[in-house]
Amino acid sequence: MGVNDGTVIGSELLLDHGSPINRWNLTLVSEGYTEEELPNFRLHALEFVTLLLATAPFAGPSAAINVYRLDVASTQSGADDPAPCGTGATADTFFDARFCANGLDRRVLVVDTTLAQNTVYAELPWSHAILVIVNSPVFGGTGGGVVTTSIHPKGLATGLHELGHAFGLADEYDYANTCAESGRDFHPVVEPAAANVTINTQFSTLKWGHLVDPSTPMPTSTRDDCSVCEGPGLSPTPPGTVGAYTGGDHYHCGVFRGEYDCKMRAHGEPFCAVCQERINAVLFPFFP
pLDDT of residue 2 exceeding 70: no
pLDDT tens figures, 106-161: 899 999 999 999 999 999 999 999 999 999 999 999 998 999 999 999 999 999 99
Q: Residue range 86-94: average pLDDT?
A: 95
Q: Residue range 15-43: average pLDDT?
A: 98
What CATH architecture does domain 6-166 belong to? 3-Layer(aba) Sandwich (3.40)
Where is pLDDT greater, at 229 or 163? 163
What does the domain layout of the chain look like in residue ranges?
Answer: 6-166, 171-266
Per-residue confidence (pLDDT) for residue 46, from 0 to 100: 98
| C-alpha dihedral (52, 58, 63, 66), degrees to nearest 10 | -40
Q: Residue range 62-66: average pLDDT?
A: 95
User: How far, in Å, CA of 116 to CA of 122, rounded?
Assistant: 10
pLDDT of residue 1 exceeding 60: no
Q: Residue range 57-82: average pLDDT?
A: 96
Predicted TM-score (pTM) of the model is 0.95
pLDDT of residue 245 exceeding 70: yes
Predicted confidence band of residue 178 (pLDDT cuts 50, 70, 90): confident
Per-residue confidence (pLDDT) for residue 102, from 0 to 100: 81
Q: Residue range 191-198: average pLDDT?
A: 98
pLDDT of residue 60 exceeding 90: no
Q: Residue range 13-40: average pLDDT?
A: 98
pLDDT of residue 217 exceeding 90: yes
- What is the DSSP code string of the chain? --SS-EEEEEEEEEE--S-GGGSEEEEEEEES--GGGHHHHHHHHHHHHHHHHHSTTTTTTGGGEEEEEEEEEESSSS-BB-TTTS--B----TT--BS-TTSS-TT--B--HHHHHHHHHHH-TT-SEEEEEE--SS--EE-SSSEEEESSTTHHHHHHHHHHHTTTPPP-SS-SS-TT-SS-SB--SS--SSTTEES---TTT-TTGGGS-TTS-SSSB--S-TTS---S---SS-TT--S-EEEETTEEEEEEESSSS-TTTSTTSPPPHHHHHHHHHHHGGG--
pLDDT of residue 59 exceeding 90: no
- How far does CA 19 lie from the centroid of its chain? 26
**What percent of the chain has a predicted confidence (pLDDT) above 90?**
87
Per-residue confidence (pLDDT) for residue 71, from 0 to 100: 99
